Structure 1
Amino acid sequence: MNTEMENEDSLYPIAVLLDELRAEDVNYRLNAIRRLSTIALALGVERTRDELIPFLEESIDDEDEVLLALADELGNFVEYTGGKEHAHLILGPLENLAAVEETLVRDKAVESINKIASVLSQQQIETYYIPLVKRLSEGEWFTNRTSACGLYATAYKNATPATQIELRTAFKRFCSDDTPMVRRAAAKNLAAMAKEISKEHIINDILPTFIKLSQDEQDSVRVLTVEDLISIAETLSLDEIKTYLLTPLRTMVSDKSWRVRYMIAENFVRITKAVGEEIIRDELVLAFVRLLKDNEAEVKTAASSQVPGFAQYIDKQMILKHIMPCVKDLVTDTSQHVRASLATQISGLAPILGKEATTEHLLPLFLQLLKDESPDVRLNIISKLEQVNEVIGIELLSQSLLPAIVELAEDKQWRVRLAIIDYIPLLASQLGVSFFDEKLGSLCMSWLRDHVYSIREAATVNLKKLTEVFGVDWAKNTIIPKVLSMGSHPNYLYRMTTIFAITTMAPAVTPEVIRDYILPTVNNLVTDPIPNIRFNVAKSYEVLIPVLKQSQETGILLDTQVKPALDKLKEDMDADVKYFAERAFLAVQ
């Protein structure tokens, strides 16, 4: 009797979950779908195959969110049906999902069908998978046919030679389909199909299909053929590329639709990699120049991002003769997006051009970009200067760009100032103490008084890094006195910055410096009227104590200076101050 009751209890949650799949509230159904694996585990493999899968196949929801979740879950459902030998059963509900109206659901269903197909046996492919592909291919609605396009590559590589002939013929029909959405799907999946087909069939079947799609009246179809061109080029010889692909490539570069030209520009390095040196020299250099001079800003932006990548495939003379004039024009382009894209990439030319050419041709352009009116352009060029430094050296770089860098250190855009701060330790390590103190020392201190917290925080980290570069003696004589002088400033933000700087720098200095310089200032701030400063003082003791413990005078310092200060903070009226003081006191023990 007890056993029967236990079995009923174990089935009860399953019944509830199955009811949720039929519930009116979409959230209930969605939650049930996301727990399909739980339902399947509770049901067991037999009941999952006999009850759950047929139920899912029969009950297509009308909510796209639920269908999308179902399509995703079913792609990982093989183990719940009993393994690979039963995996084909999942194809039923997925076939229904591959025919719905919502594109996201169909795409996820196609992805899951292909995932299931990867574990099917040859017999299952022939018996279940390929018939599914054929049914979708012959569907009356375009939704079926668009989904079918995404299944052909997987079907083809697992099909018999006779079936492969049928699949090639059927796929070619998609490229002439009356519905643009189907032709788009064919163009989108042609590259994957080409990877599974022998060169003979690529030339005889795929190439004519590609040519037809690349001349489609819809630019939304043509734009997808750029990926196909790259995929096909990777399989052909140099002579075959020249024979079959040069004409389509030239057409794409000058296509009337900017979207097609944009896609060519965005993938130009990949195209370059797929073709031979002769084609690069004879065709692609001038094609690339054309894209860099395009009328549309979007195309120039994409082409700018390819400049250093493409330059690797041509010699220095061709870069200077053909590419650099375009780059100089782009530096002053009317679109800030073009200039920002170029600023991100232009430094990549330095290693290719070498020191002399970089100094002559690139440095003036860097200077222009550093003075650009757009903060994004300035930020992008600053973040990539290290590449230039590696080629020409920091001395030459600083001589040329230091005035601009100093100007940017006070830029009205705080992110630009932040980027300059990040660059300072590198400059400092190369310039030396004297040059740094003369040219940049006052800047580093001015950032501590910045009105933006992130700048002040970065400035304190910067001081620590500079201490590590120039040494404790330099910090003791140059930086620390200036920092500590802010500890008595009437503005509480200055006093707060002093505490932050002290806390950040402490691990980089010696116990003697803390004892003689830092600790007196911290002790004075124990009675500061601002609670925020007092609890940050308490936090700073927690950092200072481990450093002080390295000194032979540890016991005396802790007993005479640190403990009395912490005792006072532990009695503070502010709860946060008391908490951090007690925590710091534990570090004394």
Structure 2
Amino acid sequence: MSNWQADPLHPIAVLVDELRAEDVTLRLNAIHRISTICIALGPERTRSELLPFLQESLDDDDEILLALAEELGAPFVEYVGGPEYGHVILPLLEHLAGVEETLVREKASQSANQVCGLLSQDQVDEHFVPLVRRLSTGEWFTSRTSATALYAAAYPKATEGVRAELIAMYSKLCDDDTPMTRRAAAKELGGFAKQLSHDELVKDLLPAFRKLSTDDQDSVRLLTVDAMIAIAEALSEDECKNLLGGTMKSLVQDRSWRVRYMVADHFVQLAKAAGQDIVREELVTAFVALLKDNEAEVRTAAAGQIPGFAELIDRESVLARILPCIRDLSTDQSQHVRAALGSQISGLAPQLGKDATIEHLLPLFLQLLKDEFPEVRLNIISKLEVVNDVIGIELLSKALLPAIVELAEDKQWRVRQAIIEYIPLLAKQLGVQFFDDQLANLCMGWLGDPVFSIREAATINLRKLTEVFGVDWAKETIIPRVTEMGQNVNYLYRMTTVFAITTMAPALDVDSIRSSILPTVVTLSEDRIPNIRFNVAKAFEVLSGTLASQEGGPELVSSEIIPAVDKLRTDTDADVRFFAEKAAEKARQVATGESQSEEVAMTDD
């Protein structure tokens, strides 16, 4: 009988009781406390008592196994006595790497790689490589899939003779009977390839890559795209052209749209890795083919790569080869393709220059700004700053305004909310004069929207606009219209006034609060609706905090805010009194300088 079995208070005995509990939460907590138990036991007893117990009691549900796999990573090595004993954790991780649940296997593989990073070369050869060997030749595909994730960590620390064996075993996994194993091998191939020397990569691993890239399962072929990028980065431009050119072409023309999608989604990375020669000769044609693909998903992915790929080719090729495709995509039947194009097309402006942008891109911008799908218009508007820097706002503003107005009045409130979030960016681009003339009324109109989220977003918008254009602008343009709403007979308008003031307060100065804000708030503190009064109390608390650090602020709090708050403290409504007490506490701190002294003390600490 083990020591812990005879002693019910032994840490492992306590752990056993918790692991046998029916409540999963208790069992999870027990697993997460293993490090504490290790400290209590010490390294030697952790190795001789705790690890064997864990090895024997692994038959549990997936959630517990996942937590254990997480615990057995690099930090756990210290609990068993440091790196010289790190290999004793591997048997546990080997068991976890062979279970059925994918998440457990992945986490076990990650932890095993962390442990491998701390082992010596002798330990790797003696303990880690045999683990990789056993998993790679396991009867069930689960262990073989886990093995593929371990090669990149094992290879750099293995001896020369063992390295050749590792390459041979990995190549065999690439030709495994089960598609799941070949998928795992394709997924991990790029990371393994980065560890090999140039000659080993070309001679030993490239054949395995080619076999995977022509696999009969499209789920395997699509995972070879990442591996192809990693291999291309290790080869010269001539080698890329001669050794990978045919594979690139076959993947671009693959019968499965999922494979073509993966190529399109990684096209810029692939082009950068391949080098200029193959880009000019092969990849421009391939990219055009992806932009014209039959599947909308592929065209969408390719559209997202347009600016990045355009940077790798000359301006003439962009105008002659890419731009005709962009024109077609701007009228694509799929709204998702047009939306992807809308978010990327602006990136071409700096590359084409002012004249070409005006001639070729501006008509497309105007067309997309009139698109029936709101996301397309939003994507164009969100990236207009790039175009503005190239051609100036005058050419854009005439077409821009109708699109903004239309979006602002869209029947979908989420569309209206999205355009509100872009208004400060547009205001910065368009300038104060254009904003006052064309957009100010729109922004004020949102304050009366029937949807609360829109009214809330509109108040945040006013604060951001104040930060863009300055307090003086706000005092002249926005604040008078906000305070005017405070006299409206409609309860919602008065409530929105309080929200707007509360939100804008941090962006205002003492003078604007004294002259424009406080009179309205004090008046609303006597409103007949309790909801308005307790939100006024909240506003007083925010205003006090804003005034605390400004010159003359504490005096204003003392003379104006405290009397109004004291009146609310005797209100008939309980909620009003509650928030009034909080506001009074804050106001008195500011008036007496307590909050400032506390801030100074915290800074000194």
Fold shared, TM-score > 0.5 on shorter chain: yes
**2-side partners of 1:533 and 1:46: how far apart?**
67
Does the C-alpha gap of structure 1 residues 113 and 409 become closer, same or farther in structure 2, counting only changes over 3 Å?
same
1:293 paired with 2:277, answer no
Does the C-alpha gap of structure 1 residues 13 and 477 become closer, same or farther in structure 2, counting only changes over 3 Å?
same
After TM superposition, the structure 1 = structure 2 runs for residues 105-504 of structure 1, keeping only pairs within 5 Å, are 105-429=104-428, 431-467=430-466, 470=469, 474-504=473-503
Does the C-alpha gap of structure 1 residues 515 and 199 become closer, same or farther in structure 2, counting only changes over 3 Å?
closer
- Secondary structure of 2:486's match? helix
Task: Say whether the 8 Å CA contact 1:234–1:275 is kept in structure 2.
Answer: yes
1:93 paired with 2:92, answer yes
Using the TM superposition, name which of 217-226 and 547-556 deviates more: 547-556
The offset of 1:470, in angstroms, is 5.0
Does the C-alpha gap of structure 1 residues 415 and 382 become closer, same or farther in structure 2, counting only changes over 3 Å?
farther
Letter in 2 for 1:446: G
Structure 1 unaligned regions, length at least 5: 1-7
- Secondary structure of 1:178's match? coil
The offset of 1:509, in angstroms, is 5.1
Letter in 1 for 2:28: L
User: Corresponding residue for 2:71?
Assistant: 73
Task: Say whether the 8 Å CA contact 2:510–2:553 is kept in structure 1.
Answer: no
**1-side partners of 2:330 and 2:216: how far apart?**
35
Task: Say whether the 8 Å CA contact 1:367–1:404 is kept in structure 2.
Answer: no
Task: Say whether the 8 Å CA contact 1:252–1:261 is kept in structure 2.
Answer: yes
Task: Say whether the 8 Å CA contact 1:375–1:413 is kept in structure 2.
Answer: no
Task: Say whether the 8 Å CA contact 1:26–1:63 is kept in structure 2.
Answer: no
Letter in 1 for 2:166: L
- Secondary structure of 1:573's match? coil
Using the TM superposition, name which of 133-142 and 243-252 deviates more: 133-142
Q: Deviations over 1:84-126 (max 9, x none)?
A: 1111000111111222222222222211111111111111111
Does the C-alpha gap of structure 1 residues 43 and 355 become closer, same or farther in structure 2, counting only changes over 3 Å?
same
**1-side partners of 2:554 and 2:52: how far apart?**
77
Task: Say whether the 8 Å CA contact 1:499–1:536 is kept in structure 2.
Answer: yes
Does the C-alpha gap of structure 1 residues 503 and 73 become closer, same or farther in structure 2, counting only changes over 3 Å?
closer
User: Corresponding residue for 2:17?
Assistant: 19
Task: Say whether the 8 Å CA contact 2:240–2:274 is kept in structure 1.
Answer: yes
Task: Say whether the 8 Å CA contact 1:366–1:381 is kept in structure 2.
Answer: yes
**1-side partners of 2:88 and 2:9: how far apart?**
23
**1-side partners of 2:36 and 2:348: how far apart?**
55
The offset of 1:507, in angstroms, is 5.3
Using the TM superposition, name which of 374-383 and 44-53 deviates more: 374-383
Does the C-alpha gap of structure 1 residues 45 and 571 become closer, same or farther in structure 2, counting only changes over 3 Å?
same
**2-side partners of 1:197 and 1:510: how far apart?**
63
**2-side partners of 1:228 and 1:355: how far apart?**
39
User: Corresponding residue for 1:3?
Assistant: none
- Secondary structure of 1:101's match? coil
User: Corresponding residue for 1:4?
Assistant: none
Does the C-alpha gap of structure 1 residues 394 and 166 become closer, same or farther in structure 2, counting only changes over 3 Å?
same
**1-side partners of 2:556 and 2:304: how far apart?**
62
Does the C-alpha gap of structure 1 residues 551 and 173 become closer, same or farther in structure 2, counting only changes over 3 Å?
closer
User: Corresponding residue for 1:56?
Assistant: 54
Task: Say whether the 8 Å CA contact 1:486–1:494 is kept in structure 2.
Answer: yes
Using the TM superposition, name which of 93-102 and 574-583 deviates more: 574-583
Using the TM superposition, name which of 467-476 and 330-339 deviates more: 467-476
Letter in 2 for 1:36: I
The offset of 1:563, in angstroms, is 4.9
**1-side partners of 2:515 and 2:220: how far apart?**
74
**2-side partners of 1:99 and 1:518: how far apart?**
67
Does the C-alpha gap of structure 1 residues 324 and 29 become closer, same or farther in structure 2, counting only changes over 3 Å?
same
Task: Say whether the 8 Å CA contact 2:555–2:591 is kept in structure 1.
Answer: no
The offset of 1:32, in angstroms, is 2.3
1:538 paired with 2:524, answer no
The offset of 1:520, in angstroms, is 3.3
User: Corresponding residue for 2:595?
Assistant: none
The offset of 1:346, in angstroms, is 1.8
Structure 2 unaligned regions, length at least 5: 1-5, 593-605
Does the C-alpha gap of structure 1 residues 573 and 254 become closer, same or farther in structure 2, counting only changes over 3 Å?
same
Does the C-alpha gap of structure 1 residues 404 and 264 become closer, same or farther in structure 2, counting only changes over 3 Å?
same
Q: Deviations over 1:21-63 (max 9, x none)?
A: 3556655443322222122222211111001111222333142
**2-side partners of 1:281 and 1:444: how far apart?**
49
Does the C-alpha gap of structure 1 residues 24 and 493 become closer, same or farther in structure 2, counting only changes over 3 Å?
closer
**2-side partners of 1:553 and 1:314: how far apart?**
59
TM-score, normalised to structure 2, is 0.89
Letter in 2 for 1:289: V
**2-side partners of 1:340 and 1:448: how far apart?**
29
**2-side partners of 1:108 and 1:469: how far apart?**
47
Q: 2:44 aligns with which of 46, 64, 73?
A: 46
Task: Say whether the 8 Å CA contact 2:547–2:557 is kept in structure 1.
Answer: no
The offset of 1:474, in angstroms, is 4.7
Does the C-alpha gap of structure 1 residues 434 and 137 become closer, same or farther in structure 2, counting only changes over 3 Å?
closer
**1-side partners of 2:381 and 2:156: how far apart?**
49
The offset of 1:255, in angstroms, is 0.4
Does the C-alpha gap of structure 1 residues 17 and 494 become closer, same or farther in structure 2, counting only changes over 3 Å?
same
**2-side partners of 1:345 and 1:474: how far apart?**
34
The offset of 1:465, in angstroms, is 4.3
The offset of 1:430, in angstroms, is 5.3
Task: Say whether the 8 Å CA contact 2:514–2:556 is kept in structure 1.
Answer: no
Does the C-alpha gap of structure 1 residues 134 and 360 become closer, same or farther in structure 2, counting only changes over 3 Å?
same
Letter in 2 for 1:68: L
After TM superposition, the structure 1 = structure 2 runs for residues 23-42 of structure 1, keeping only pairs within 5 Å, are 23=21, 26-42=24-40
**2-side partners of 1:281 and 1:432: how far apart?**
42
**2-side partners of 1:390 and 1:53: how far apart?**
64
Task: Say whether the 8 Å CA contact 1:383–1:419 is kept in structure 2.
Answer: no
Task: Say whether the 8 Å CA contact 2:557–2:591 is kept in structure 1.
Answer: no
Does the C-alpha gap of structure 1 residues 175 and 470 become closer, same or farther in structure 2, counting only changes over 3 Å?
closer
Using the TM superposition, name which of 250-259 and 102-111 deviates more: 102-111
User: Corresponding residue for 2:567?
Assistant: 568
Does the C-alpha gap of structure 1 residues 480 and 181 become closer, same or farther in structure 2, counting only changes over 3 Å?
closer
Does the C-alpha gap of structure 1 residues 257 and 588 become closer, same or farther in structure 2, counting only changes over 3 Å?
same
**2-side partners of 1:80 and 1:551: how far apart?**
57
Q: Deviations over 1:496-526 (max 9, x none)?
A: 1222233444555565554444433333222
Letter in 1 for 2:194: K
The offset of 1:396, in angstroms, is 2.6
Letter in 1 for 2:172: R
Using the TM superposition, name which of 40-49 and 402-411 deviates more: 402-411
The offset of 1:72, in angstroms, is 1.6
